[in-house]
Structure 1
Amino acid sequence: MPFLEIDNLEKSFGATKILKGVTLGIEEGGFLVLVGPSGCGKSTLLNTIAGLEQITGGEIRIAGKRVNDLHPSKRDIAMVFQSYALYPNMTVGENIGFGMEIRGIAKAERDKAIADVSQLLQIGHLLDRKPSQLSGGQRQRVAMGRALVRKPQVFLFDEPLSNLDAKLRIDMRTEIKRLHHRMKTTIVYVTHDQIEAMTLATKIAVLKDGILQQFGTPEEIYNNPVNMFVADFMGSPAMNLVPATIGETGNQLSVELARNGSAPVSLALNGAPQGLSAYRGKQVMFGIRPEALTDPDGADRNATHLVTADCHIEVVEPAGSDTFAVTNLGGKGVVARLRADARIKPGTTAPLTFNLTKAVFFDPATQERIA
């Protein structure tokens, strides 16, 4: 039974529906990430869990208890905001302990909790400083410390890293993951950054226009997207989505990918999705991740279905640990992820290996996955 349950949740502002029947659940100690583009409803969903927004329909349950009508202070949750929301006139220690002081907790107990949390977050040397004397990463640690001392049932994070620079975001992401492993707390985390979602989550909920598109583990979301939106949104670089025609070679189905000025690339399918046979002679969207399209020597040797084809290379982008190459298939630029030392030049023809074990197919009209 999930520890936090969202059941057919709806939220409207006037006549505008923001959340449209969202249903999901996370186990105790799980890390749920709500991800999606701006305006998809993820922060609204977080605010309804917190009690900062009243829901229009559905139910929210924490540890089996319905909390729809409970005041935020009665829900036993703690929230970390994007803006840190620290009191500028208080020291770090006072900021962390303020909530406990308001609740009448004895000073000795407060001091112990502050010391424990500051040691966990490595901010013990900052306790006498004011927020204005701290860096962005230090302020975020203080905001997290203020939430941690409460020991709530659920922690809510609302894009906590969005104000930090790229390197600090990576460092803080690691700290949050380490913290979750130590504390075994239940976390709901909002971000628009799909890399954060993939690295932090035990479960991901992908939202678009207030509708839950897919809910599952990071591996499920990445490798088995249910529609073109999820396929395109999750992953960096994004999945290649290429218009293709389903043909037939002997007794096997094949994927035909058009090329400018030359014969199509024909990829024989071995063990194609069952539903794909209904698309013979019809167009589909062929999805393949850049890492599943690579130079022959860099291909996954454990893959059960590799097909190599000569492709015209238009652009080469060295990226340190990888080299990205762009070819044109189906009238679109398609990104291949190659080894860093791959010998490849723009304007030439080179063999690229398709790992069709990782390929997925979508109906171009509905944009849904072909099973």
Structure 2
Amino acid sequence: MGFLDIRNVTKSYGAVQVLHQVDIAVEEGEFLVLVGPSGCGKSTLLNMIAGLEGISGGEIAIKDRVVNGVHPSKRNIAMVFQSYALYPNMTVGQNMTFGLEMHGVPKPERDKALADVSKLLQIDHLLDRKPGQLSGGQRQRVAMGRALVRDPDVFLFDEPLSNLDAKLRVDMRTEIKKLHQRLKRTIVYVTHDQIEAMTLSTRIAVMNKGLVQQLGTPKEIYDTPANIFVATFMGSPAMNIIPATLRREGESVFAEIQDHAGQNLRLALPPGNFQAHIGRELLLGIRPEAITDPEGADRNSAHIVPLPNFVTVTEPAGADTFVTMTLGGKDVIARMRADASVHPQQSFDFVVNMEKAVLFDPKTEERILT
């Protein structure tokens, strides 16, 4: 049982089912991020938690109280919207305390909550301004403040940073992280931005086509993706997916792939239970940062394997250099140091950290457990 329990929840619009038996237990103080592409059902699920959408099947419970059919105002949740949803004719202070006033909270309590939260968010000097006089970042802080003054059981964030420019988005991400660390409140946060998901969350639910593809910590999602969708959706650049055949030679097992010229290369795999897959065509998943030059390889790994190949393109990106090559007939990206001496249209002796490699079944696209 969690602080917020989503139990086998489904949602249908007529004959179209948009959420399929979503089952998530959120612990008190947890920061859960629902992430996925547009149309995957994440905002629909958030609206069902809030009570803005009805539930077709299953249950949602907050602090062991089933809230199916309970009016949003009776759920003790607070929601921060993408559009901020501030009243333009009210001051910042009035916007932040309007909900408390509607719930009959006495003025001295409202004033204390306003003073505490506005100081916490560093907007106490803006309380007499109207929303039209604020920047995007300031309006976002006011929207967050309006949620905080209510002291709810659960905070719900619906893509709150998507309207901000890139730099402000990074700054506000940091502020939300600090806020959660200070308040230790339960947050469910919706985004399509996998960087937001990785940096903010204590756990991530990766969604696609109304299904939770994987639920886990950021490290679990990144290092051991449950399937190819999660592997390629989470991470920038995405995980490389390379056609391979598993071969055994003595006690060693290799992933056999083809280089740019169609010649076979063998990458030795760490020890594992591969017997059922020897001779099979599989998909080899390798994160870009696991492919590098010998000097940049992880010195703590016992499974650094040589990978000679031809460089197609180099892309300097400040702290990193992204290098594109061809493996198995596909473009494969390596993430290397900025000062790595690698040049386009030349051969280069790459190395791969095979401890970071994962294998997928090409038919089911699920990760193979070894």
TM interval, short-chain normalised:
over 0.9
Aligned-residue offset at 1:60: 0.6
Aligned-residue offset at 1:69: 2.0
Partner of 2:33: 33
Aligned-residue offset at 1:262: 4.9
Aligned-residue offset at 1:257: 1.1
Per-residue CA deviation, residues 147-198 of structure 1 (Å, 9 max, x unaligned), is 0000000000000000001111000000000000011100000000000000
The correspondence for 1:303, drawn from 285, 301, 304, is 301
Per-residue CA deviation, residues 198-242 of structure 1 (Å, 9 max, x unaligned), is 000001001110011100111111101010000000001110011
2:296 is equivalent to residue 269 of structure 1 = no
| DSSP 3-state at the match of 2:263 | strand
Counterpart CA distance in 2 for 1:362 and 1:76 is: 43
2:347 is equivalent to residue 349 of structure 1 = yes
Counterpart CA distance in 2 for 1:310 and 1:286 is: 17
Opposite residue 144 of structure 1, the aligned amino acid is: M
Equivalent residues in 2 for 1:218-297, closer than 5 Å: 218-272=218-272, 274=273, 276-297=274-295
Q: Which runs of 5+ in 2 are unaligned?
A: none
Counterpart CA distance in 2 for 1:60 and 1:262 is: 54
Contact 2:228–2:366 at 8 Å: present in 1 too?
Answer: yes
Per-residue CA deviation, residues 256-289 of structure 1 (Å, 9 max, x unaligned), is 11123252221122313x2x33222221110000
Contact 1:26–1:203 at 8 Å: present in 2 too?
Answer: no
TM-score (norm 2): 0.98
Contact 1:249–1:268 at 8 Å: present in 2 too?
Answer: no
Counterpart CA distance in 1 for 2:68 and 2:84 is: 26
Contact 1:248–1:280 at 8 Å: present in 2 too?
Answer: yes
Partner of 1:184: 184
Per-residue CA deviation, residues 57-103 of structure 1 (Å, 9 max, x unaligned), is 10111111111121111111000000000000001011001111111
Partner of 1:129: 129
Counterpart CA distance in 1 for 2:344 and 2:129 is: 55
Counterpart CA distance in 2 for 1:349 and 1:277 is: 34
With over 3 angstroms needed to count, the CA separation of the structure-2 counterparts of 1:260 and 1:292, relative to structure 1, is: closer
| DSSP 3-state at the match of 2:164 | coil
2:155 is equivalent to residue 155 of structure 1 = yes
Partner of 2:217: 217
Contact 1:295–1:351 at 8 Å: present in 2 too?
Answer: yes
Per-residue CA deviation, residues 110-129 of structure 1 (Å, 9 max, x unaligned), is 11111111100011111111
| DSSP 3-state at the match of 1:174 | helix
TM-score (norm 1): 0.98
Contact 1:253–1:277 at 8 Å: present in 2 too?
Answer: no
Counterpart CA distance in 1 for 2:271 and 2:288 is: 21
| DSSP 3-state at the match of 1:144 | helix
| DSSP 3-state at the match of 1:18 | strand
**Cα RMSD for the two superposed structures:** 0.9
Which deviates more from structure 2 when the two are superposed, residues 59-68 or residues 40-49?
59-68
Which deviates more from structure 2 when the two are superposed, residues 103-112 or residues 204-213?
103-112
Partner of 1:83: 83
Counterpart CA distance in 1 for 2:157 and 2:183 is: 15
Contact 2:154–2:187 at 8 Å: present in 1 too?
Answer: yes
Partner of 1:66: 66
Counterpart CA distance in 2 for 1:304 and 1:96 is: 56
| DSSP 3-state at the match of 1:207 | strand
Seq. identity, %? 64
Partner of 2:317: 319
Contact 2:262–2:328 at 8 Å: present in 1 too?
Answer: no
Q: Which runs of 4+ in 1 moved over 4 A?
A: none
Counterpart CA distance in 1 for 2:309 and 2:26 is: 45
Which deviates more from structure 2 when the two are superposed, residues 354-363 or residues 63-72?
63-72
Q: What is the aligned residue count? A: 369
Opposite residue 131 of structure 1, the aligned amino acid is: P
Aligned-residue offset at 1:340: 1.0
Q: Which runs of 5+ in 1 are unaligned?
A: none
